[in-house]
Chain A
């Protein structure tokens, strides 16, 4: 009897410890999953915070751009149209007075005509700046060519182009691309003091590559991207909208090269 009991006693601790081992394992498993879940949730939160932050930045840039644009339009309207119309109104008042000689009347009318012509020209130009009609009427290629020609017409800079475009983007996307080129040209002249600008557009099966090169002062890419001003931010967000990526290559005093790649479905 004693022997049997001692044997029993040997088995019991083994079974009991095995049971507790299993219990322990189950608890550890549950805890492990809990902690892993916590970690994963934290990571996801971090990710979404970063995403939100960049979205906020883009939104901010958009609003800033919009405000700047409004200011520019207001300025243009004020300078080019309101001031000139004042002159017209003044002359008309004088004419209404009726105390002028025929010669003076002729002069005043001539003035009015001249001013109206310039106002017409200005309003046309402002409208053109806001949305180039050529883009709507003749497409991206002609619009880009005209844009480059306009810059080249100042004789201070030389523009070159090699445009091969198969009409695969929507009108809205074309406008984005046009604005990007506009911004690049403006940057080259304003910040880079460039004299030669070259635009290359390649459009092959499913991939569009826009290469822009100038001979301006150049800049430090890392720094520029970090503290990117409105212009560069604008370009970045537009490229993002186009589902593309932008690659900048530049050194001080060696000009800059912008390469923008956009993937698209060419036969849609």
Chain B
């Protein structure tokens, strides 16, 4: 088993674990958590499909577009529910951006086979800005899901560059490519660990149980 396999397996296992663990939050009907759970679930589905395609030796790169747009929508609404509840305009802008990105592929289907730099940078940067703002709020008061927030900041900021260089890298040999995806898997493991840690620290027990203790 190569290093990359190790990282990608463990990140997938952690992802599956987190999907199961965060399902409880979904049941608790906390809006922000529902969006985050949806994000985890979609990531898991995309991951499964991409592995299946990979095993069949079929191209799976087009999934990246679903990945980025879904990530953008879910995490945007996650943050919107956390600290921008009254900003309806931001909701509409988020939906507008997502649709306009999708529209491009309907008009020019050939774009589907490549990484779209504009899409990657736009969606990632907006999420990074949300995350930084949320971190800034943390200066004054305690915030919910601070570890998730740190994970989003660290993972999206650094993985943005990996995906941006994806087009360039795919033209190079597989051996060279592998380094990059190993790093990406490693970052993904860190992200999933932070998500798990958030659950372990703050969501494991419901608040009522803590009070009785």
Contact = CB atoms under 8 A, between A and B. Distances in A.
Interface of A: 5, 8-9, 11-12, 15-16, 18-20, 22-23, 25-27, 29-30, 33, 36-37, 40
Interface string B187-207: 100000000000000000000
How large, as a class, is the contact surface on chain B? 20 to 34
A18 B165 CA distance: 11
B160 A22 contact: yes
Interface stretch (B68-76, B102-110, B114-122, B136-144): B136-144
A18 B162 CA distance: 9
Contacts, number: 57
A12 B157 contact: no
A12 B168 CA distance: 11
Interface stretch (B7-15, B39-47, B56-64, B172-180): B172-180
B153 interface: yes
A8 B180 contact: no
Interface string B11-47: 0000000000000000000000000000000000000
B132 interface: yes
A74 to B, nearest CB: 49
A29 B138 CA distance: 13
B183 A29 contact: no
A26 B154 contact: yes
Given A26-B157, A29-B135, A19 B150 contact: no
Given A16-B180, A18-B161, A30 B154 contact: yes
A15 B165 contact: yes
B177 to A, nearest CB: 9
Interface of B: 132, 135-136, 138-140, 150, 153-154, 157-158, 160-162, 165, 168-169, 172-173, 176, 179-180, 183, 187
Nearest to A18: B161
Given A8-B176, A15-B180, A37-B139, A22 B150 contact: no
Nearest to A44: B140
Contacts of B187: 23
A172 B98 CA distance: 64
B176 A19 contact: no
B179 A29 contact: no
B153 A19 contact: no
A40 B176 contact: no
Contacts of A16: 179-180, 183
Contacts of A23: 154, 157-158, 187
Contact of B138 (A5, A11, A15, A33): A33
Contact of A30 (B150, B158, B160, B176): B150
B168 A11 contact: yes
A40 B157 CA distance: 27
